[in-house]
Amino acid sequence: MLNISKQTIGKSVAKEKYQSLVNVEKRKSGNVLIRLIGAMSGLFLFIMFLPWTQNIQSRGAVTTLKPEQRPQTIQSIISGRIEKWYVREGDFVNKGDTVLFISEIKNEYLDPNLLNRTENQLKAKESSVFSYMEKIKALDSQIDALLKTSNLKREQAKNKLEQAHLMVTSDSIAYEAASINYTIAKTQYVRMEQLYKDGLKSLTDLEKRNQTLQKAQAGMISKKNKMLTSKNKVINAKVERTSIHAQYIDKISKAKSEKYTALSNMYDAEAVVTKLQNQFANYTLRSGMYYITAPQSGYITKAMQSGIGETIKAGAEIVSIMPAVYDLAIEMYIKPIDLPLLEMGQHVRIQFDGWPAIVFSGWPNTSHGTYGGTVFAIDNFISKNGLYRIMVAQDPNDYLWPDALRVGAGTKNMVLLKDVFIWYELWRKINGFPPDYYKDITTAISPSTTNTKSK
């Protein structure tokens, strides 16, 4: 028995009849416990020295590799009213297929002959521009003719002025000769008068000399008058030359003014033509926007607008479309403290929601149902949720991702890091240390740095 009391009944009971008493009396339970504890300790030490793969775990979602492959909405560039639908939800459409037709609702575009009338206005203004151009050409020809005529008239006035100067010169010489004759006749008359007083000449001779003096004086006055007339002609020639210059300057200036007025009107007409061309192009493009088409091939997933006669605003979402051809990727978010642990091309193990998997986070090689991926993009700025976004693409050297996988599905991701012992991993987590992110110096130094140092 237990041998607690000194009064024993061991001799009074047949122990061999009770197996439990026989087992207790053998006293082997203590040895078994010691062996069990030893085995557990050995197993624990063995487990502590097993390899463990450090990893970063994060939730994520399935997305596409390129932005244009992601689900998008088809929008209307203009406002309008729904007149007819050409598709329904779930239909496959090719790029350029018509999704729906809308009609115009704005007053300035309701005219059914808007394009024709705008085109007629444009042609009329183009004709106006052509007319102004012809008028400008005619005014240029008129200005050229006036300039040539002005040059000829000025040359004629110049010649006339030179003739007047020559006449003045000629008359001045004649006047000088007449003056000399008058002086000589006067001197001779004075001498004749003295001789007459002395009685050497008769009165008849004196009167003849006086008559000669009067003729010389009359000739001198006539020549002087003629000379003054010639000078007046010079003045008149100068006045006429100035008048001709002013007259043609006025005519040329008036023609140039008309030319610049025509140019201004032509430029205004050209501005109107440009504006009408812009309007005509806008109206033409707008008329083509009544048919809303698919921007790329894909499946119509959901209609945001419905019914016939419903009005939609410009930029309003009409239907959503999922591209038919896309490359899947994983979008995941990690904490800022884990960002230094990541690098481009790093391997990631992925578990997709809806696909059964047996996952051992520390032993990725023994996990089943997970798929491989590689990091191909790391954001350089933090997101609004306080985490950094990481993009993961399919690993071409691993199992292909499921064909039935769809965009938006949830994922559980494990970014694989360094292989360490389990005891080290426990010690690191107990102390709150981050995973090891030290790199080999040969990989940390870039080739460009090595080349620079070698130089």
CATH number for position 408: 2.40.30.170
For residue 299, the number of C-alpha atoms closer than 13 Å in the C-beta half-sphere is 8
Residue 397's SS3 state is: coil
Helix 422-431 to helix 29-48 angle (10° resolution) is 80
Residue 107 located in a structural domain: no
Asked if 364 and 349 touch (Cβ cutoff 8 Å), the reply is yes
Residue 103 located in a structural domain: no
Final residue belonging to a domain, choices 323, 341, 373? 323
DSSP H stretches of helix in 70-202: 114-198
Residue 64's SS3 state is: strand
Asked if 317 and 159 touch (Cβ cutoff 8 Å), the reply is no
233 and 86 in a single domain? The answer is no
Residue 234 located in a structural domain: yes
Residue 142 located in a structural domain: yes
CA distance 206 to 198: 12
Q: What is the pLDDT of residue 451?
A: 42
141 and 154 in a single domain? The answer is yes
CA distance 326 to 296: 12
Which residues partner with 413 through β-bridges? 58, 350
Q: What is the pLDDT of residue 94?
A: 92
CA distance 89 to 299: 8
CA distance 10 to 321: 90
Q: What is the pLDDT of residue 101?
A: 92
What is the domain-level CATH number for residue 84?
2.40.50.100
Asked if 65 and 328 touch (Cβ cutoff 8 Å), the reply is yes
Phi and psi (nearest 5°) for 112? -70, -25
Residue 135 located in a structural domain: yes
Asked if 413 and 350 touch (Cβ cutoff 8 Å), the reply is yes
Q: What is the pLDDT of residue 92?
A: 92
273 and 302 in a single domain? The answer is no
Which residues partner with 312 through β-bridges? 80
Say what percent of the chain tops pLDDT 90: 10
For residue 330, which of 36, 48, 60 has the smallest C-alpha distance? 60
Q: What is the pLDDT of residue 331?
A: 92
Q: What is the pLDDT of residue 47?
A: 75
Which regions in the chain score pLDDT beneath 50? 1, 440-455
135 and 184 in a single domain? The answer is yes
380 and 397 in a single domain? The answer is yes
Residue 401's SS3 state is: coil
Residue 330 located in a structural domain: yes
Residue 306's SS3 state is: coil
Give the chain's domain count.
4
390 and 432 in a single domain? The answer is yes
Return the DSSP state at 129.
H
Residue 102 located in a structural domain: no
Asked if 398 and 371 touch (Cβ cutoff 8 Å), the reply is yes
What is the domain-level CATH number for residue 148?
1.10.287.620
262 and 220 in a single domain? The answer is yes
142 and 91 in a single domain? The answer is no
Domain holding 84, by residue range, is 72-97+295-323
336 and 215 in a single domain? The answer is no
For residue 138, which of 251, 248, 255 has the smallest C-alpha distance? 255
N- to C-terminal Cα separation, the chain: 90
Residue 284 located in a structural domain: yes
Asked if 146 and 245 touch (Cβ cutoff 8 Å), the reply is no
Residue carrying the six token digits 């042609």: 123
Asked if 99 and 105 touch (Cβ cutoff 8 Å), the reply is no
308 and 343 in a single domain? The answer is no
Enclosing H/E stretch for 350: strand 347-352
- How is residue 198 written in tokens? 């002395």
202 and 221 in a single domain? The answer is yes
Q: What is the pLDDT of residue 164?
A: 81
For residue 362, which of 430, 435, 431 has the smallest C-alpha distance? 435
Residue carrying the six token digits 């030893």: 38
Asked if 74 and 291 touch (Cβ cutoff 8 Å), the reply is no
167 exposure class (CB count in 10 Å sphere: 0-12, 13-18, 19+):
middle
338 and 441 in a single domain? The answer is yes
Asked if 294 and 94 touch (Cβ cutoff 8 Å), the reply is yes
102 exposure class (CB count in 10 Å sphere: 0-12, 13-18, 19+):
buried
